[in-house]
Amino acid sequence: MQLRYSFRLYPNGPQRSALARAFGCARVVYNDALRARETARAGGEAFPKTGDLSKLLITEAKRTEERAWLCEVSAVVLQQSLRDLDTAYRNFFDGLKGKRPRMGAPRFKSRKDNRQAVRFTANARWKITRGGGLSLPRIGDVRVKWSRLLPSIPSTVTVIKDASGRYFASFVVETDPVALPETDAVVGIDLGLTHFAILSDGTKIESPRFLRRAEKKLKKAQQNLSRKAKGSANRAKARIKVARAHARTADARREFHHQLSTKLIRDNQAVAVEDLAVKGLARTRLAKSVHDAGWSAFVAMLEYKAALYGRTFHRIGRFQPTSQVCCVCGAKDGPKPLNIREWTCGECGAVLDRDINAAVNVAKAAGLAVPACGAQVRPGLVPAQREESGTHRDGQTTVAGIPSR
């Protein structure tokens, strides 16, 4: 399977200028190719092929005065920009055909976009130096902070600059699955807002609420940005501060997701989770809390880590009535409002915790054998059957249906 590894880059001043030129040249070639194809489409003509665009927009453009500066960057970066446009069109048309989720049509890139990226393939002859640097053509040896070893030798590296001005080197490498020791433990997970995750064994994991905790700092940084004059240097500095504040929040959330997903995969042989309608929930009054939780990213981590470490991952349908069914006896008594956190089963009398009961039902819907005792808050009073009920009379030693002792 393929995994992506990202490492922080620390380019110096000249290297940052060279990377800025590479970002700009790749963006110009991408926009020129997009404009040529849209012009052909509007005129009812066939789409220009990538080879023709490469000859026209790169090879011949370098000989003109208007595009002579394209010679200042590696040609591989420009070629990969055209391939990125091909991928964008392919994803767009596949979405229209139903082969993948729908995506918007390719759009023109701007130098003000939050993310800038260029890609170097093996043809660019980039390499990792003996000193641990990343040698890039026309840029030089860039310092890298290696946090782990790469499992295999990569053939491509993507250099990314995010909105906060940080640089990253991204490698996509082939990785062989590494099976962890087998265990008998299985778990069902119910995701929520008050508690981020509720496990079928009764464990409740509090939601860190990273965005909520950082709201005051984010608000102050945004207010400082709004007071700066547009186009000024101070506004550019304030924008960087806002972006860095958001980046710290996103990094903390991602780290939490990684630690929790790794622990769940290591401790359990099988993991079951409900397929939530995140887009629908993000259109409600709970939108900020839903985005702050980051359920989709967490579930994606569980899925790929299960495949990597030889675990079983189950995703049950979102229409499973996990909160309506008693996990003890299986009785279904209909939907309940969100303010009801505990309920008593009308059939067996068990007093159930709503979230733990849902987690147990998630595991059972996936075919996992989990005990239902974790969902029971306390044993309820079991109503007697009609044939076992009766009243005591004076001197009576036997109640109907219950033998005397």
Q: Which of 32, 190, 201, 353 is catalytic?
A: 190
| Helix H or strand E segment including 82 | helix 75-96
Is the separation of the CB atoms in 264 and 308 below 8 Å? no
DSSP one-letter string for 127-155: EE-TTS-EEETTTEEEEEE--S--SS--S
What's the one-letter identity of residue 159? V
Of the chain, the end-to-end C-alpha distance in Å amounts to: 68
Query: CA triplet 43, 49, 54: central angle to 5 degrees?
Result: 115
355 part of the active site: yes
Closest-CA residue to 178 (of 265, 51, 283): 265
190 part of the active site: yes
141 part of the active site: no
Angle at which helices 75-96 and 13-42 pack, to 10 degrees? 40
Q: Which two tokens stand for residue 405?
A: 């002792």
DSSP one-letter string for 195-233: EEEEETTS-EEE---HHHHTHHHHHHHHHHHHTSPTT-H
Q: Which of 32, 201, 274, 292 is catalytic?
A: 274
Q: Which of 84, 303, 353, 355 is catalytic?
A: 355
The set of catalytic residues is 190, 274, 355
